């Protein structure tokens, strides 16, 4: 949420009904800056009033930069020009807006836009959320391959005002008819950049200038594919095609940034055991957030039934001191349980996060498991060594007096070694399990992110308890 | 790691010494695809051989797409054309490469490039890592404001081949001298897009066409600022300026995606208690990864001294059954400790991740704490309710027999309520602490990400133990 510098100025102009001032304000600044200035303190009516003096194209640009929830409010208080404004919006942003509207508003609105726009909204609206199709826009620039470079630039002058970008121009073939008689999307033959058009001799033909090995995406691929393609090829836009390479639309670079941010948010939330949430933190519906958190909390709660059973199995060993010559029990050993659980959870989540992220960025593949195993084994040993030294020092000097008085007479060094070997063993196991599980999950074709975070923590709780009590069994 | 489709073909051509085939291969495909085909199985010499038949500009493009570690290996086996190749590389990629080289190779290499490039590398190399300056490139297109649109396009034709982008053209003033007599960077007066140049009348002056309200970044800002600006304004490039608005370079959209990915990786790792790591999972130095993990493990280990002391304080209550009329102890209650710790950790990390991410994306500000508190309080109550119901059912039906036999005769319902109220209280506290701490940290100007993940987990361990034993005290 950036600081809306111009808000007081707009408020003043609205009070003074300074139409010229408002037009000047909307048209001279970047539409994102105008949208920011018109923040939550203004009513939807005031926002309409503030932008309505600018030309309709500027109104559409400012409107696109308003937060989604705001756009919906604005449409509910729609002005007569709203049909025209929708006609000038980016086709992808327009569909996103229409998707968000309540059913009745949606229908009222569609009656205000013209036939072609209505058809375009319907077409784009049919693609599944999270697919490439749902991200794309249909306002791309295109040309037939038979034009010369000079003719192409002239044509682009006509197309430019209504196109999302003219820096990539798509070269399409003749329209063909489908068996049912309707027109099929024109097939994508190549792409030529405006840079190449400018550099080319005036009379060169587009079909000779164009790059015909085009990187394209299918409309039904996952949106993650977009981010990967942009990252690999440094593109400004990517064409989206159907089964027969017919051009359906393009995805532009500005939408990719949003996808990468959204994917990162999803990864972070999944790592913390939060399901997918639509909208920002304060906008998202309470019910949806509750559900996305409760499902995980309940699942992890149920997983903890295992730790309870494991604890119950070992707890008898500590209870009372009947078996010990000096009659002192071992219950004091429970004070180290949180430490053991914490070491396992931390070592495990470090390793699983590193491996899961490396898999997501395609830095490693499931078949690299042996290299990962070797590296993590060495790493886990080196980490365990560090914690081991610390643990000897810590148990030797800093064990609380409450605990020390209960240690059997011959048991002090046993205590030091139990804690130290447990910490080391748990660190080692946690790190190895954390590293290898995501690879295992990946190799059977599931999403490795499922195994990071809380699930690893629960698993390492169980292993931690088993290791701790087994080592106690060896020394006491 | 995408699948290198063309690898076998390249291997064949190298064996057959098919120079024409290799040139065709390098020049007809996208340089990213060529770079992928030349994967780890080829030696650096083979890669040089494969690309050396293409023209030097293509060689430079392919080279830019090789993984950083590979580029360094290639330079160590440098061919004579390497000086020329560096001359044709993007200025930002070139500096990144030079930074990675060992000292001796670095110096040998600099002797091979010409004076202007050497100066450019030195200038770009001086900016701190993670600053905007370190991301920028100096091969931008610029013009004086006095040209007409037609003249500008002619000029761009000359500049295009050596520029990172010509879609934004920067308008600069006359060069001025600094007090010491050297030339200061030319001041940025405005920006004009190639789209606007194409649309403009031939004789329109650049200074009338240009946008003079330019969004620019200072060279010493954090690289996160770049991502924010691009996300806000949907840009292709952003100018980087000095204190007097002198243009130093530009940052282009393709580098922003890398930054957003790198920042997301950093956030994920920090959430899992892993410090910053340079390079990919398999490339990063063992020592650096060890350090970045060991520091956190040791820190969290030391934090657990608190839980040990808290446990030691309460443990006496459970030990033996002296105080109870039926002589049975309460040690069986320790079996629920891992459950309690887990609930607190999970509820806390969910809330802290959501709030920290919302802060990072500027969806909320520290001053929204009251709204966040109200929302999280309701949410925590609703989550605690769900776990409460589950906990009654779970303790009633599924408590292990090993534990049941030790429960005092009148104590079964006490057990049910102790576990249920503890789980609910810990869930509530965990979620509230997890949500509010990042806001508190943010409000004193620190990075809220420090408080997510393991630190919240440790804190909620302590609170969990206190809550659990306090509730035991009420019922037994």
Who contacts A351 (Cβ-Cβ below 8 Å, separation ≥6)?
A376, A379, A380, A430, A431, A432, A433, A434, A435
* CA-wise closest residue to B434 among B460, B399, B412: B460
pLDDT tens-digit series, residues A74-120: 888 777 778 888 888 888 888 888 888 888 888 888 888 888 888 88
pLDDT at A197: 92
Which residue did the predictor score with more confidence, B22 or B448?
B22
DSSP string, A127-192: SPTTBHHHH-BS-EEEEETTSBHHHHHHHHHHHGGG-SEEEEEEEE----B-TTSSBPPPBEEEEE
When scoring B264, B391, B398 by the number of chain A Cβ atoms within 10 A, the one with the most, hence best to mutate, is B264
Strand partners, A218: A241
Q: Answer whether B343 sits within 8 Å of A297, measured CB to CB.
A: yes
* Helix B7-15 with B44-51: angle, nearest 10 deg: 80
Tell which B residues from 140 to 199 touch A, by Cβ distance under 8 Å.
153, 156-157, 160-161, 166-167, 194-195, 198-199
Q: Is A430 in CB contact (< 8 Å) with chain B?
A: no
Statement: residue A458 has pLDDT above 60: yes
Task: Inform me whether the C-beta atom of residue B325 falls under 8 Å from chain A C-beta atoms.
Answer: no
- Stretch (H or E) spanning A14: helix A7-15
Give the model's pLDDT for residue A5.
74
Interface probe for A, chosen from B25, B308, B316 (most Cβ of A below 10 Å), is B308
Chain A residues within 8 A of B227 when measuring between CB atoms: 257
- pLDDT digits 0-9 by tens, B369-405: 898 999 999 999 999 999 998 888 888 888 787 777 7
Whether residue B338 and residue A335 make contact (CB cut-off 8 A), yes or no, is no
Mean pLDDT of B205-214: 91
In this predicted model, what pLDDT tens digit does every residue of B333-359 receive, in sequence order?
888 888 999 899 889 989 998 998 888
Beta-bridge partners for A240: A217, A249
Comparing A329 with B235, the larger pLDDT belongs to B235
C-alpha–C-alpha distance, residues A64 and A56, integer Å: 12
Tell me whether residues A273 and B232 touch, CB distance under 8 A: no
pLDDT at A326: 52
Query: In the 3-class helix/strand/coil scheme, how is chain B assigned residue by residue?
Result: CCCCCCHHHHHHHHHCCCHHHHHHHHHHCCHHHHHHHCCCCCCHHHHHHHHCCCCHHHHHHHHHHCCHHHHHHHHHCCCCCHHHHHHHCCHHHHHHHHHHCCHHHHHHHHCCCCHHHHHHHHHHHCCCCCEHHHHCECCEEEEECCCEHHHHHHHHHHHHHHCCEEEEEEEECCCCECCCCCECCCEEEEEEEHHHHHHCCCCCEHHHHCECCCCCEECCCECHHHHHHHHHHCCCEEEEECCCCEEEEEEEHHHHHHHHHHHHHHHHHHHCCCCCCCCCCCCCCHHHHHHHHHHHHHHHHHHHHHHHHHHHHHHHHHCCCCCCCCCCCCHHHHHHHHHHHHHHHHHHHHHHHHHHHHHHCCCCCHHHHHHHHHHHHHHHHHHHHHHHHHHHHHHHHHCCHHHHCCCCCCCHHHHHHHHHHHHHHHHHHHHHHHHHHHHHHHHCCCCHHHHCCHHHHHHHHHHHHHHHHHHHHHHC
Per-residue pLDDT band for A29 (boundaries 50, 70, 90) equals confident
Over residues B433-445, the mean pLDDT reads 89
The reported pLDDT for the residue numbered A4 is 64
> B68, B281, B348, B389: best mutation site toward chain A, by most A Cβ within 10 Å?
B281
List domains and CATH numbers for chain A: 7-126 (1.25.60.10), 140-271 (3.10.580.10), 286-475 (1.10.357.20)
Close Cβ partners of A89 (under 8 Å, ≥ 6 residues apart): A60, A63, A64, A97
List CB contacts (< 8 A) between B363 and chain A.
Answer: 1, 280-282
Give the ipTM: 0.78
Residue found by looking up tokens 């989206």 in the block: A240
Higher pLDDT, A270 or A452: A270
- Shortest Cα distance from A324 to chain B (angstroms)? 14
A2 to chain B, any CB pair closer than 8 A? The answer is: yes
Cβ under 8 Å to A: B residues 368-427: 368, 371-372, 375, 378-379, 382-383, 386-387, 390-391, 394, 398-400, 402-403, 406, 423, 427
Q: Looking at chain A, which residue has its C-alpha nearest residue B373?
A: A282
* Residues in chain B closer than 8 A to A415 (CB atoms): none
| CB–CB contacts below 8 A, A to B | 393
């Amino acid at each position: 949420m950036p600081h809306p510098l111009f808000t007081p100025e707009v408020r003043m102009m609205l009070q003074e009904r300074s139409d010229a001032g408002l037009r000047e304000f909307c048209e001279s600044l970047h539409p994102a800056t105008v949208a920011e200035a018109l923040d939550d303190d203004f009513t939807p009516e005031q926002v309409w009033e503030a932008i309505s003096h600018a030309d309709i194209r500027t109104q559409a640009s400012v409107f696109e930069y308003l937060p989604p929830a705001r756009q919906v409010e604005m449409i509910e208080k729609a002005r007569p020009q709203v049909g025209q404004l929708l006609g000038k919006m980016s086709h992808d942003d327009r569909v996103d807006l229409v998707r968000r509207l309540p059913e009745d508003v949606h229908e009222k609105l569609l009656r205000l836009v013209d036939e072609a726009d209505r058809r375009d909204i319907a077409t784009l609206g049919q693609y599944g959320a999270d697919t490439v199709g749902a991200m794309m826009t249909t306002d791309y620039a295109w040309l037939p391959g038979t034009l010369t470079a000079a003719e192409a630039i002239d044509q682009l002058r006509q197309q430019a005002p209504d196109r999302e970008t003219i820096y990539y121009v798509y070269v399409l073939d003749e329209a063909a008819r489908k068996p049912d008689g309707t027109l099929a999307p024109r097939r994508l033959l190549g792409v030529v950049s405006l840079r190449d058009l400018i550099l080319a001799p005036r009379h060169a033909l587009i079909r000779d200038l164009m790059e015909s090995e085009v990187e394209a995406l299918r409309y039904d691929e996952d949106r993650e594919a977009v981010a990967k393609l942009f990252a690999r090829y440094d593109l400004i836009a990517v064409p989206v095609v159907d089964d027969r390479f017919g051009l359906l639309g393009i995805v532009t670079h500005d939408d990719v940034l949003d996808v990468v941010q959204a994917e990162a948010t999803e990864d972070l939330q999944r790592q913390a055991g939060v399901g997918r949430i639509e909208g920002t933190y304060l906008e998202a519906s309470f019910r949806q957030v509750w559900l996305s958190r409760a499902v995980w909390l309940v699942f992890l709660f149920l997983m903890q039934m295992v730790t309870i059973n494991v604890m119950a199995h070992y707890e008898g060993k500590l209870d009372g001191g009947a078996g010990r010559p000096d009659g002192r029990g071992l219950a004091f050993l429970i004070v180290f349980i949180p430490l053991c659980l914490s070491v396992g959870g931390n070592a495990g989540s470090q390793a699983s996060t590193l491996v899961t992220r490396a898999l997501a960025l395609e830095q490693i593949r499931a078949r690299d498991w042996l290299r990962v195993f070797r590296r993590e084994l060495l790493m886990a040993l080196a980490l365990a060594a560090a914690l081991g030294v610390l643990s000897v020092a810590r148990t030797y000097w800093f064990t609380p007096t409450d605990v020390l008085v209960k240690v059997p007479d011959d048991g002090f060094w046993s205590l030091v070694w139990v804690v130290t070997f447990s910490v080391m063993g748990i660190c080692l196991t946690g790190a190895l399990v954390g590293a290898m599980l995501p690879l295992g999950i990946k190799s059977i074709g599931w999403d490795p992110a499922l195994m990071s975070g809380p699930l690893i923590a629960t698993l390492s709780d169980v292993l931690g308890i088993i290791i701790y009590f087994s080592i106690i069994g060896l020394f006491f």
